[in-house]
Chains A and B, each alone.
Chain A
Amino acid sequence: MSARKYSEILTLGLVMVVVALLLTLFIGPQFLGVGNLQSMAFQLPELGILSLAMMITMLTGGINLSIIASANLTGIVTAMILIRYADPAGTGPGLWVIILLAMLAGLAISTAIGLLNGGLIAWAGVSPILATLGTMILLKGLAIVLTKGYVLSGLPAPVLFLGNGVIAGIPVPMILFALCALVMGVILNRTPMGVRIYMIGSNITACYFSGVNNAAVLLKTYLISGLYSGIAALIMIARFNSAKADYGESYLLLTVLASVLGGTSAAGGFGRVSGLVIALIILQLVASGLNLLRVSAFLTIAMWGAILILVMVANTLVTRYRERRALAY
């Protein structure tokens, strides 16, 4: 088992190196230059944190279609509070208190959304697809009602640091992403809650009869998912210096793709944060490379779809091959 995990991470790492080499060959050495590496490090974290939010629900065999809508609503509420109460040119402790409160309000909303999803799924027994589909439409509606479709912009300068700042050469969003990934890794691998999440994904009935409170675990899972989408939202508004009802809609496919590419099983039960991180790096390399090669954004989208299917097909074939070999011995 541990040999298998090891080989999957190794394969992914190998793919990453090959992709990086191939793209450098096509584009030239500037692909791996400091400038491009740093711009990639600014782009990856939003998608990364959203993918973590998607991955934890997929581990239980569910899915969270509402992460993007949840992130946008969180961003809009935070931005509205900031624009209304914070003086853009202001300084001093008053401004910091307002910023802190605005962010807490945003995170409270995203957590409440997680609670709503979790409650519907865990207590009422609604299927995750339907529950999160419903909340997605509702949240998007609320976002449009709040903004009337306009862009909210002009956030106070200290907030922008969260999305654009650099500490010791490392972009701040990257540091936040690393923290989020670390916390997720600890939750999944070092706590009883993490073990239960994997167990629910593998066999929810067996999990129930081994004395686990399935409803409580599912509730916490969607709560964490909601909270992570909120953190992604804060980075997103800080980076764009604005909030809007329909930012990042193409991210939904990419979060599923990153999770699946990183070894998360769509049926639940398997998947590791380390795999997801390498998958995200691969996706970011390819995205930047295609961008530098001036490939149309829509062709890129089509390609992501094709890659998602190919990865799933490969996973199925490998599993079948393993099962057959296991039977032969």
Chain B
Amino acid sequence: MKRWLSYHETYVFIVIVLFSAVIAAVNPSFLTLENLFDLLKSYAFLGILSVGVLFVLISGGIDISFTAVATVAMYVMAVLIIHYGGNIAIAFLIAATIGIALELINALIIYYFNIPAIITTIATLNIYYGLLTVFSGGKWIYGLPPWFREFADIRVLTLTNEAGVSYGISIVTVIWFVIMLAAWGVLRYTVLGRSIYAFGGNPGSAERIGINILRLQLFVYGVMGLMAGIAGVVQVLLVQTVAPNSIVGKELDVIAAVVLGGASLFGGTGSLLGTLLGVALIAVMSNGLTLMRVPSYWYDVFIGLIILFSVTISALRRRQRIGRMIIVEGEA
């Protein structure tokens, strides 16, 4: 019991349960499978991006540019598949390649010129987004190929509600969960994954025990790019249009979700379970506000309050822990 209380995830989980209880008391339709499956589908985009952001935050970096990267990836992907045709695997491949390439540029600038990650990525966000808008003329893309639209409708489990409308677990949800499982395996069981934690926890020591920092940075931002590319395709699958300005500006929401899940900007901490719970908290809250008929413009106020509350608690706990460490060192 005491061990559980020391995990950040436990508290996030308790908050989610409390929120859910309140929402369900006001509007029972919150607790239906239909609503759950719907949330799991519509939050796949945020969820996939949050996996990439988690990698970056664990390594002690930060990325602001990933929404622009995702936008470029999905725009180019859409233009290419409409023009040349292809299949869903090719669509993902194109977007992933572009995503990885653009994020590797971030990693190279950060590594070789020692520029703070936040400044580098604020700059590249504007470069990628600005150039895309210039070249695309800001035009929306409609009319995606039929095979692309059909793929979005695939369900792995189909149920029917009383009204006769069928619902189920979307293929998009499956993609999200497969990605999380793979990322969990990489972070927990591979040398590369463990060295991300080591580097984020203490870059100096990590370098001395022989971790190749350039390779590590390329890997971390590469994962971010891969996730941005996949999330870009998922977004197009969900809405079936491509708008150059639809997701830029949402980057802080994603970072907020990951931070809510316990990842720290100081690096070295963070888990996939926590990130999933962070996304779940944001999903439950925004869905709950809608179901409780709270006007949508209150949304940011709640998110902001929750973030400030969460980061303050974790900062205070961190301070407490460091204080204890100094006392222990003093006694030894």
Which of A's residues lie within 8 Å of B, judged by CB?
63, 120, 124-127, 129-131, 133-142, 144-145, 148-149, 252-253, 256-257, 260, 266-267, 296, 298-306, 308-309, 312-313, 316-317
Which chain B residue lies CB-closest to A137? B304
9-residue interface stretch from B73-81, B117-125, B189-197, B227-235:
B117-125
9-residue interface stretch from B22-30, B175-183, B202-210, B252-260:
B252-260
Which chain A residue lies CB-closest to B119? A266
Q: Of B115, B118, B259, B264, which is within 8 A of A316 by CB? A: B115
Residues of A within 8 Å of B118, CB to CB, are 63, 129
Counting from the closest, the 6 A-B pairs by CB-CB distance are A138-B304, A141-B300, A302-B130, A141-B301, A305-B126, A305-B127
Residues of A within 8 Å of B119, CB to CB, are 256, 260, 266, 308, 312
Which chain B residue lies CB-closest to A265? B116
Residues of B within 8 Å of A120, CB to CB, are 308, 311-312, 315
Contacting pair B304 A141 (CB below 8 A): yes
Q: Of A124, A133, A142, which is within 8 A of B307 by CB? A: A133
- Bound state CA distance, A273 and B304, in angstroms? 32
Shortest CB distance B19–A (Å): 18
Binary contact readout B309-321 vs A (1 if CB under 8 angstroms, 0 otherwise): 0011001101100
Contacting pair A134 B307 (CB below 8 A): yes
Residues of B within 8 Å of A306, CB to CB, are 123, 127
Contacting pair A302 B134 (CB below 8 A): yes
B266 within 8 A of A: yes
Shortest CB distance A88–B (Å): 27
Contacting pair B298 A133 (CB below 8 A): no
> A125-B316, A308-B119, A316-B115 are contacts. A137–B126 as well, Cβ < 8 Å?
no
Contacting pair A126 B303 (CB below 8 A): no
14 contacts between A and B (CB under 8 A): A124-B315, A125-B315, A127-B266, A131-B308, A133-B256, A133-B307, A137-B307, A253-B122, A299-B130, A302-B127, A305-B124, A305-B130, A309-B124, A313-B113
- Bound state CA distance, A139 and B120, in angstroms? 25
> A267-B116, A308-B119, A309-B115 are contacts. A134–B134 as well, Cβ < 8 Å?
no
Contacting pair B113 A130 (CB below 8 A): no
> A133-B307, A134-B307, A301-B129 are contacts. A144–B123 as well, Cβ < 8 Å?
no
